[in-house]
Protein backbone atom coordinates (compact mmCIF):
# COMPACT_ATOMS: atom_id res chain seq x y z
CA UNK A 1 0.00 0.00 0.00
CA UNK A 2 1.23 3.47 -0.90
CA UNK A 3 0.39 6.80 0.72
CA UNK A 4 0.52 10.29 -0.77
CA UNK A 5 0.32 13.81 0.57
CA UNK A 6 -2.26 15.66 -1.48
CA UNK A 7 -3.52 19.01 -0.27
CA UNK A 8 -7.21 19.54 -1.02
CA UNK A 9 -8.37 22.66 -2.84
CA UNK A 10 -11.70 24.42 -2.88
CA UNK A 11 -13.06 25.33 -6.30
CA UNK A 12 -15.96 27.68 -5.66
CA UNK A 13 -17.65 26.78 -8.95
CA UNK A 14 -17.80 23.16 -7.72
CA UNK A 15 -19.28 24.44 -4.48
CA UNK A 16 -21.86 26.42 -6.43
CA UNK A 17 -22.94 23.26 -8.26
CA UNK A 18 -23.57 21.53 -4.93
CA UNK A 19 -25.79 24.46 -4.02
CA UNK A 20 -27.76 23.89 -7.21
CA UNK A 21 -26.30 26.85 -9.10
CA UNK A 22 -23.88 27.25 -11.96
CA UNK A 23 -21.03 29.62 -11.10
CA UNK A 24 -19.68 31.01 -7.86
CA UNK A 25 -20.35 34.49 -9.29
CA UNK A 26 -24.00 33.74 -8.48
CA UNK A 27 -23.38 33.68 -4.72
CA UNK A 28 -25.16 36.36 -2.73
CA UNK A 29 -22.90 38.77 -0.86
CA UNK A 30 -23.86 37.16 2.45
CA UNK A 31 -23.03 33.65 1.24
CA UNK A 32 -19.75 34.80 -0.32
CA UNK A 33 -18.68 36.43 2.96
CA UNK A 34 -19.60 33.33 4.93
CA UNK A 35 -17.60 31.13 2.54
CA UNK A 36 -14.54 33.37 2.86
CA UNK A 37 -14.75 33.12 6.65
CA UNK A 38 -15.19 29.34 6.61
CA UNK A 39 -12.22 28.86 4.25
CA UNK A 40 -9.82 29.76 7.06
CA UNK A 41 -11.60 27.41 9.45
CA UNK A 42 -11.60 24.58 6.92
CA UNK A 43 -7.85 24.90 6.30
CA UNK A 44 -7.14 24.37 10.01
CA UNK A 45 -9.43 21.34 10.18
CA UNK A 46 -7.97 19.39 7.25
CA UNK A 47 -5.94 16.24 7.95
CA UNK A 48 -5.74 14.78 4.42
CA UNK A 49 -4.60 11.24 3.71
CA UNK A 50 -4.71 9.16 0.54
CA UNK A 51 -3.78 5.48 0.24
CA UNK A 52 -3.64 3.51 -2.98
CA UNK A 53 -2.68 0.13 -4.40
CA UNK A 54 -1.86 -1.05 -7.91
CA UNK A 55 -3.36 -4.47 -8.57
CA UNK A 56 -3.14 -6.62 -11.69
CA UNK A 57 -6.38 -7.60 -13.39
CA UNK A 58 -6.83 -11.33 -13.83
CA UNK A 59 -9.83 -11.25 -16.18
CA UNK A 60 -12.78 -9.18 -17.32
CA UNK A 61 -15.91 -11.04 -18.38
CA UNK A 62 -19.66 -11.29 -17.80
CA UNK A 63 -19.76 -7.79 -16.32
CA UNK A 64 -17.14 -8.56 -13.66
CA UNK A 65 -13.57 -7.39 -13.13
CA UNK A 66 -11.55 -10.12 -11.40
CA UNK A 67 -8.36 -8.97 -9.68
CA UNK A 68 -5.39 -11.24 -9.14
CA UNK A 69 -5.82 -12.73 -5.68
CA UNK A 70 -9.37 -11.33 -5.54
CA UNK A 71 -11.83 -9.76 -5.22
CA UNK A 72 -14.15 -9.43 -8.23
CA UNK A 73 -16.00 -6.17 -8.87
CA UNK A 74 -19.41 -6.61 -10.48
CA UNK A 75 -20.36 -3.76 -12.80
CA UNK A 76 -20.95 -3.98 -16.57
CA UNK A 77 -20.03 -0.31 -17.02
CA UNK A 78 -16.84 -0.62 -14.97
CA UNK A 79 -15.97 -3.77 -16.93
CA UNK A 80 -16.43 -1.93 -20.21
CA UNK A 81 -14.35 0.99 -18.95
CA UNK A 82 -11.47 -1.32 -17.99
CA UNK A 83 -11.67 -3.71 -20.95
CA UNK A 84 -8.23 -2.76 -22.34
CA UNK A 85 -6.49 -2.56 -18.95
CA UNK A 86 -4.13 -4.99 -17.26
CA UNK A 87 -3.75 -2.96 -14.05
CA UNK A 88 -6.20 -1.18 -11.76
CA UNK A 89 -5.49 1.58 -9.23
CA UNK A 90 -7.58 1.33 -6.05
CA UNK A 91 -7.61 4.34 -3.70
CA UNK A 92 -9.16 5.70 -0.51
CA UNK A 93 -8.88 9.39 0.42
CA UNK A 94 -10.06 11.38 3.42
CA UNK A 95 -9.78 14.89 4.84
CA UNK A 96 -10.14 13.57 8.39
CA UNK A 97 -12.75 13.85 11.14
CA UNK A 98 -12.09 17.33 12.54
CA UNK A 99 -14.48 18.95 10.08
CA UNK A 100 -17.32 16.76 11.35
CA UNK A 101 -16.75 17.95 14.91
CA UNK A 102 -16.93 21.57 13.75
CA UNK A 103 -20.13 20.89 11.80
CA UNK A 104 -21.73 19.36 14.91
CA UNK A 105 -20.69 22.34 17.01
CA UNK A 106 -22.14 24.80 14.49
CA UNK A 107 -25.37 22.83 14.40
CA UNK A 108 -25.62 22.76 18.20
CA UNK A 109 -25.26 26.57 18.22
CA UNK A 110 -28.04 26.92 15.62
CA UNK A 111 -25.48 27.83 12.99
CA UNK A 112 -27.27 25.69 10.43
CA UNK A 113 -26.33 27.77 7.40
CA UNK A 114 -22.65 27.68 8.32
CA UNK A 115 -22.84 23.96 9.05
CA UNK A 116 -24.40 23.30 5.65
CA UNK A 117 -21.83 25.39 3.81
CA UNK A 118 -18.90 23.82 5.70
CA UNK A 119 -20.29 20.35 5.01
CA UNK A 120 -20.44 21.16 1.30
CA UNK A 121 -16.93 22.61 1.37
CA UNK A 122 -15.69 19.35 2.87
CA UNK A 123 -17.30 17.38 0.04
CA UNK A 124 -15.62 19.58 -2.57
CA UNK A 125 -12.26 19.34 -0.77
CA UNK A 126 -12.16 15.53 -0.62
CA UNK A 127 -13.33 15.27 -4.23
CA UNK A 128 -10.47 17.58 -5.22
CA UNK A 129 -8.03 15.15 -3.58
CA UNK A 130 -9.30 12.30 -5.73
CA UNK A 131 -9.13 14.46 -8.85
CA UNK A 132 -5.58 15.64 -8.12
CA UNK A 133 -4.49 12.05 -7.50
CA UNK A 134 -6.06 10.94 -10.76
CA UNK A 135 -4.29 13.70 -12.68
CA UNK A 136 -0.98 12.96 -10.96
CA UNK A 137 -1.19 9.30 -11.95
CA UNK A 138 -2.25 10.26 -15.46
CA UNK A 139 0.89 12.40 -15.78
CA UNK A 140 3.06 9.63 -14.32
CA UNK A 141 1.77 7.02 -16.74
CA UNK A 142 1.94 9.40 -19.67
CA UNK A 143 5.71 9.45 -19.15
CA UNK A 144 5.58 5.65 -19.58
CA UNK A 145 3.50 6.02 -22.77
CA UNK A 146 0.43 4.74 -20.98
CA UNK A 147 -2.84 6.34 -19.94
CA UNK A 148 -5.61 6.07 -17.38
CA UNK A 149 -9.37 5.59 -17.59
CA UNK A 150 -12.05 7.66 -15.93
CA UNK A 151 -12.52 7.24 -12.16
CA UNK A 152 -15.24 4.98 -10.75
CA UNK A 153 -16.54 4.79 -7.16
CA UNK A 154 -18.89 2.26 -5.56
CA UNK A 155 -22.42 3.63 -5.68
CA UNK A 156 -21.96 5.36 -9.03
CA UNK A 157 -23.54 4.15 -12.28
CA UNK A 158 -24.27 0.43 -11.98
CA UNK A 159 -21.56 -0.37 -9.42
CA UNK A 160 -23.43 -1.20 -6.16
CA UNK A 161 -22.33 0.66 -3.03
CA UNK A 162 -22.16 -2.75 -1.29
CA UNK A 163 -19.05 -3.44 -3.41
CA UNK A 164 -17.34 -0.93 -1.14
CA UNK A 165 -16.55 -3.85 1.17
CA UNK A 166 -14.63 -5.61 -1.60
CA UNK A 167 -12.67 -2.45 -2.38
CA UNK A 168 -11.69 -2.03 1.28
CA UNK A 169 -10.53 -5.66 1.35
CA UNK A 170 -7.81 -4.72 -1.14
CA UNK A 171 -6.15 -2.72 1.65
CA UNK A 172 -4.68 -3.51 5.06
CA UNK A 173 -7.41 -2.06 7.29
CA UNK A 174 -4.95 -1.56 10.17
CA UNK A 175 -3.07 1.02 8.09
CA UNK A 176 -6.11 2.92 6.83
CA UNK A 177 -7.37 6.12 8.37
CA UNK A 178 -10.87 5.26 7.15
CA UNK A 179 -13.28 2.60 8.42
CA UNK A 180 -16.37 1.12 6.81
CA UNK A 181 -19.70 0.53 8.54
CA UNK A 182 -21.97 -2.47 7.96
CA UNK A 183 -24.09 -0.23 5.71
CA UNK A 184 -20.95 0.66 3.66
CA UNK A 185 -20.69 4.24 4.90
CA UNK A 186 -17.16 5.53 5.37
CA UNK A 187 -15.90 7.15 8.56
CA UNK A 188 -14.65 9.88 8.55
CA UNK A 189 -17.66 10.87 6.49
CA UNK A 190 -15.68 13.19 4.23
CA UNK A 191 -13.87 10.33 2.51
CA UNK A 192 -13.93 8.99 -1.01
CA UNK A 193 -12.89 5.67 -2.54
CA UNK A 194 -12.59 4.51 -6.11
CA UNK A 195 -10.68 2.87 -8.90
CA UNK A 196 -9.37 3.60 -12.37
CA UNK A 197 -7.53 1.53 -14.90
CA UNK A 198 -4.13 1.90 -16.56
CA UNK A 199 -4.39 1.73 -20.34
CA UNK A 200 -1.62 0.41 -22.60
CA UNK A 201 -1.70 3.47 -24.85
CA UNK A 202 -0.72 7.06 -24.06
CA UNK A 203 -3.49 9.41 -23.07
CA UNK A 204 -7.17 8.99 -23.76
CA UNK A 205 -7.55 6.61 -26.65
CA UNK A 206 -10.16 7.19 -29.38
CA UNK A 207 -13.41 5.56 -28.38
CA UNK A 208 -12.52 5.32 -24.68
CA UNK A 209 -15.76 4.51 -22.91
CA UNK A 210 -17.53 7.15 -20.85
CA UNK A 211 -20.55 5.62 -19.05
CA UNK A 212 -22.19 9.05 -18.78
CA UNK A 213 -22.94 8.92 -22.52
CA UNK A 214 -25.37 6.05 -21.82
CA UNK A 215 -27.09 7.85 -18.94
CA UNK A 216 -30.18 10.04 -19.33
CA UNK A 217 -29.72 11.84 -16.01
CA UNK A 218 -28.54 15.06 -17.59
CA UNK A 219 -28.81 17.08 -14.36
CA UNK A 220 -26.32 14.87 -12.48
CA UNK A 221 -23.63 17.01 -10.83
CA UNK A 222 -21.10 14.19 -11.35
CA UNK A 223 -21.80 13.95 -15.08
CA UNK A 224 -18.67 13.83 -17.25
CA UNK A 225 -18.92 15.25 -20.73
**Domains within the chain, CATH numbers bracketed:** 12-203 (3.40.109.40)
- Residue 183 has a pLDDT of 92
Instruction: Tell me the mean pLDDT in the region 126-138.
Output: 95
* Averaged confidence pLDDT in the chain: 88
- Residue 11 has a pLDDT of 86
> Does 207 have pLDDT greater than 60?
no
Alpha-carbon gap, residue 54 to 225, rounded angstroms: 27
- Residue 122 has a pLDDT of 96
- Residue 201 has a pLDDT of 73
Band (225; pLDDT cuts 50, 70, 90): low
- Residue 206 has a pLDDT of 44
Predicted TM-score (pTM) of this structure? 0.88
> Does 129 have pLDDT greater than 50?
yes
Instruction: Tell me the mean pLDDT in the region 93-119.
Output: 94
- Residue 178 has a pLDDT of 94
Amino acid sequence: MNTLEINPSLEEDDLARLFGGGKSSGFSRGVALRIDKLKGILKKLLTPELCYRKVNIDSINNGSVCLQGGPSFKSPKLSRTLKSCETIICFIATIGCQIEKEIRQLTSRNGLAGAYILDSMGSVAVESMAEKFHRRMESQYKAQEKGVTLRFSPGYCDWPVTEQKKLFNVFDSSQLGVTLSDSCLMQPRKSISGVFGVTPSNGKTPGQYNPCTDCKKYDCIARRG
